[in-house]
Chain A
Amino acid sequence: MFADDIKVILYVDFAAAILSAGVLVLCSWGIIKDRFEGKIFRALLSVVLAFTAFDAALYAIRGLNFPGFRFVAVLLWTVRELLLIISGSLWMIYANYRFYHSQDSIRRSFWKFHIPFYAAMAVVAGNLFFGFLFYCDAEGGYHSTQLLYAIDLLLFVYLTVFAVQIVLYQRKNRDLIFFNVWAFLTPVLLGGVVSIILPYSVAPLGLALGLTYIYTGIINEKSFQDRTTGYLNRLYMRYLKGEIEKGSFRCRSAMRYQIGREEDMERFAGILTPLLPKKCVIIRYSADTVIMFTEVTEKIALRMMEEDVRAAVDRMNAGQEGSDTAVTIDSMIKKKKETPIDFYQRFLEKVG
């Protein structure tokens, strides 16, 4: 039914559709289904799925001939380009929400933030009438102009610069996030390169692969955060039942986790601390975040050059009970006018 070169694109789109549809279903059942992040991500997946469908559709109709065929072909190409722009826009919203802004600030700056994308959409829509970006011949063949290449290149650079910003953010805040932006960008870049080298469009497969990696990163990250919190909860319950004694808890590495409620925070900082061995300290560094450092030595404390921490370690080394070793460093953070993340980063740098 279809020529072999068209079949290639149809099958690649088919694979992309299965992948993105499956991840969409998994998202609908999974852990992020009710979150703002989950909603954006599902929207992103839906747009990629629609993009894939349009990509396949316009290749499938190539070679057909019926009245108004050329207009249908141009319309499909236009929708395809618009969906690509929308996916880029949603990617920006998603990345901004995850790394820089709150949900509210994203909503407030929504219009201002996406002006380049709206402009791109208007230009693509205008092309329907003027054909200055791309046009279709009588057989539905796609022909693009140099202007379209220039605009695509600009969009690509725009997204890449933004991605590099996230990479720099991640490098600065290592261990705090599992999401790796290169996991998204690598398949997208490869898809773009293959599409240029070979006469087949594999961009939808690249996008679908990238989104799959992002979803893997999201659930890994969420699972890690909840696991540490859950672990301490179970520990506390065992302590209440008398199953474990003071000082019997030992963990291998520093853990950082978010706690949703202030009372939980107090519980961890205040009640769990007695369970910890001598050379272990819980540091509260914000209203909702606790870091537990294990095997804290005097050397590390000295490197940190923070008097409160050093004093706590001194007390531990002197053999005092662990309850004295819970250190609240809110005041320290305020004094230095740094964010909790800055503090954590500074700690990591000093510890090495």
Chain B
Amino acid sequence: MFELTHLNYATIIIDGGAILLVWGILWQTRFMRSSGRPSDRLFFGMLLLTIVMAVADIVAYLAEYHADALMKNVQLLSNTTYFMAITIFEMSWLDYCHFRFRDGEEIRKIGLKPEFIPGILMIGLLFINQTTGYFFYIDEMGIYRDGILGKVITIGLFAYFIPGVIDIAKYRTADKKLLIPVWIYIMPVVVAAVSCVLDDISMVTMGFAVTIAFTHLGTMSEIAEYNSKESVL
């Protein structure tokens, strides 16, 4: 039914690993049912978005190399969902960093902020891309191709990571409260993006999954460390 190349297999296996990783964290955090903190809700949302991303990526790779209209549409929609999920993930990540690391500034609720305008614009353009193919399109053979603005997606989306990292870095410099170095949060996504640019295998979903896993582990380590100190009178 599906004509999978080795590289398709690789992407599907890696995406499957990403789903397993994120599902494990969801399970470990008991699906965040009992937590009402904004940062937790954002984190929960990012976990779900990673699963959406991985599933969309798997569907897109399964549908590749099929020239019939149905499969081409499936691929188009899956890739659109994938990029939208990444966009919303990035916006959530920025909000998450603001909540956790902006010192002295109160952010009262999760919501749309001026800095999300590029992200919202990106989502709008992804809708337009359905008919224009500016960002990406599916060719006659049923293969994904970058459009004339293909690289803009990558650059535009990853730009959202930078303000978040700056938030963390400022917080770390000011208060020295963070135990875990900032680069460990961001490293997986950067490595994944670089490998994706260099070769055809999509490691991006795994990059996001590992980043979110490290963020969770780092946060939990810090909480455990503080609790440990507080428990000694």
Partners in one complex: yes
Chain A CB within 8 A of B21 CB: yes
Chain B residues with CB below 8 A from A237, complex form: 233
A7 at the A/B interface (Cβ < 8 Å)?
Answer: yes
A26/B217 contact (C-beta < 8 A), A18-B191, A222-B228, A223-B223 known = yes
Q: B223 near A213 (CB under 8 angstroms)?
A: no
For chain A, give the interface size range.
35 or more
Output the least CB separation between B228 and chain A (Å): 5
**Which residues on the B side are within 8 Å of A217 (C-beta)?**
28
A263 closest partner in B (C-beta): B233
Which of B10-18, B107-115, B120-128, B146-154 sits within the interface?
B10-18
Bitwise, B37-65 to A at CB < 8 A (1) or not (0) is: 00000000000000000000000000000
Specify which chain B residues have a CB less than 8 angstroms from the CB of A25 in the assembled complex: 181, 184
Alpha-carbon distance A299/B5, docked complex (angstroms): 65
Binds A, one of B73-81, B156-164, B195-203: B195-203
**Alpha-carbon distance A38/B17, docked complex (angstroms):** 25
Cβ-closest chain B residue relative to A25: B184
- Whether the Cβ atoms of A220 and B28 lie closer than 8 Å is yes
Q: Tell me the complex Cα distance, A334–B27, Å.
A: 39
In the complex, chain B residues whose CB is within 8 Å of the CB of A187:
20, 24
Q: Which among A31, A233, A264 is the interface contact of B225 at CB below 8 angstroms?
A: A31
- The reply to whether the CB of A227 lies closer than 8 angstroms to some CB of chain B is yes
Cβ of B166 within 8 Å of any chain A Cβ, yes or no, is: no
A22:B228 contact, CB within 8 angstroms: no
A275 in contact (CB, < 8 A): no
Q: Nearest Cβ in chain A — how far from B26, in angstroms? A: 11
Closest to B213 in A: A212
Task: Report how far A264 CA is from B221 CA in the complex, Å.
Answer: 24
Q: Which residues of B contact A119 (CB under 8 A)?
A: none
Q: Is B67 an interface residue (CB 8 A)?
A: no
Contact check, B221 vs A213: say whether CB atoms are below 8 A apart. Answer: no
What A residues does B173 contact at CB under 8 A?
Answer: none
Q: Which residues of A contact B14 (CB under 8 A)?
A: 11-12, 15
The answer to whether A8 and B217 touch (CB under 8 A), given A222-B228, A226-B230, A227-B227, is no
Interface 0/1 of B192-233, CB less than 8 Å to A: 000100010101001000100110111011011101101111
User: Which of chain A's residues have a CB closer than 8 A to the CB of B24?
Assistant: 183, 187, 209, 212-213, 216
Does A223 lie within 8 Å of B179, measured CB to CB?
no
Distance in angstroms between the alpha carbons of A85 and B181 in the assembled complex: 33
24 A–B contacts, CB within 8 A, in A order: A4-B7, A7-B7, A8-B13, A11-B201, A15-B17, A15-B203, A18-B187, A22-B187, A22-B214, A187-B20, A187-B24, A200-B9, A205-B13, A209-B20, A212-B24, A213-B28, A216-B216, A219-B221, A220-B220, A223-B227, A226-B228, A227-B231, A233-B232, A234-B230
**What is A's interface to B at a CB cutoff of 8 Å?**
3-5, 7-8, 11-12, 14-15, 18-19, 22-23, 25-26, 29-31, 183, 186-187, 190, 194, 198, 200, 202, 205, 209, 212-213, 215-217, 219-220, 222-223, 226-227, 229-230, 233-234, 236-237, 264
